[in-house]
Amino acid sequence: MTFAVTAAETPLLELVGLTKRYSGPPEVDVLKGVSIQISGGEMVAIAGPSGSGKSTLLNILGLLDEPTHGLLKIKGRSAIGLSERDRVRLRATEIGFIFQSFHLVPYLDTVQNVMLPLVHQGRRGDRRARAVGALQRVGLGHRLEARPTTLSGGEQQRVAIARALVHDPPLILCDEPTGNLDAANTSAVLDLLRNLVAADRAVVIVTHEAEVEARADRVIRVMDGHAV
Ligand code: ADP
Ligand code: MG
């Protein structure tokens, strides 16, 4: 018998015994020991009632916040205790973030918004072409010069999806991405997110909507500080 060890066996994301305490007052233990693995090729929903700690968990996964205790590994490398500079760099290469309220920059047009992750990476040269390609991929190749405020909610979220994929990160993290959208746009956004899943890429969606859960490959439920 032979045992082949391939890169695919290392989870994209691994959490062990992760805790988060907000020091308050009042002091709150939001996460009390969360252990999860997420692999490439998965679309995972993180579900749970409001206030259960879903956003806290996603922000830790996305290196926007630090856990109180526990291990967090991205592609097998520890992402805890990094210098601010290394954390920013890791986030710029490994993570794309999508928010409920889009978080587009109002005074930039769609191409400039989508180029931002490439600017943060310090990438030169093909930035504009890549941003245009990402916008075409979400069906917005005809709105390259539009300001976000002139777009519908569904269109704005598609710009945000283009911005999350333009630098080709292995992890796409979404916090209630369909929370401000009607049923038709929710479905379109979920189709786009599903299309981003690849062997070397996972999409993680925080949600409390049944439709989003139904479309995920796996649902992680956050309850009383634990994930089940
Ligand atoms: P969810 O996204 O599931 O609604 P959150 O992760 O936003 O939940 O919040 C979980 C709990 O942590 C809530 O009780 C919230 O009030 C509390 N919380 C969130 N952020 C902070 C903070 N910065 N300081 C103190 N408490 C916080
Ligand atoms: Mg939340």
- DSSP per position, 12-58: SEEEEEEEEEE--SSPEEEEEEEEEEE-TT-EEEEE--TTSSHHHHH
Q: Is the model more confident about 59 or about 24?
A: 59
Q: Which ligand is closest in space to the CA of residue 31?
A: 1
Cα gap 181→175, rounded to integer Å = 13
Residue 3: pLDDT band (50, 70, 90) is low
Structure tokens at 136: 């075409």
Residue 5 has pLDDT above 90, yes or no: no
Which residues fall within 8 angstroms of residue 136, CB to CB, at 6 or more apart?
none
**Ligand 1: which of 23, 34, 56, 101 to mutate, judged by most atoms within 8 Å of the beta carbon?**
56
Confidence of residue 125 (pLDDT cuts 50, 70, 90): confident
- Give the ligand whose atoms come closest to the C-alpha of residue 101: 2
- Kindly report the CATH number that applies to the domain delimited by 41-65+87-227: 3.40.50.300
pLDDT, the chain, mean: 93
* Angle, helices 153-165/127-137, rounded to nearest 10 degrees: 130
Ligand at minimal distance from the CA of 47 is: 1
Q: Is 225's C-beta closer than 6 angstroms to any atom of ligand 1?
A: no
End-to-end, the C-alpha distance of the chain in Å comes to 35
Any idea how long the chain is? 228
pLDDT score of 123: 79
Per-domain boundaries in the chain: 41-65+87-227
pLDDT over threshold 70, residue 197: yes
Distance 176 CA to ligand 1 centre (A): 15
Q: Is residue 40 predicted with pLDDT exceeding 60?
A: yes
The predicted model scores a pTM of: 0.93
C-alpha 48 – ligand 1 centre gap (Å):
13
Does the structure show a pLDDT above 80 at 226?
Answer: yes
pLDDT average, residue stretch 27-34: 95
Q: pLDDT tier at 120 (50, 70, 90 boundaries)?
A: confident
Is the pLDDT at 2 greater than 60, yes or no?
A: no
Q: Token match 């907000």: residue? A: 22
The residue type at 204: V
Ligand 1 centroid–CA 103 distance in Å is 19
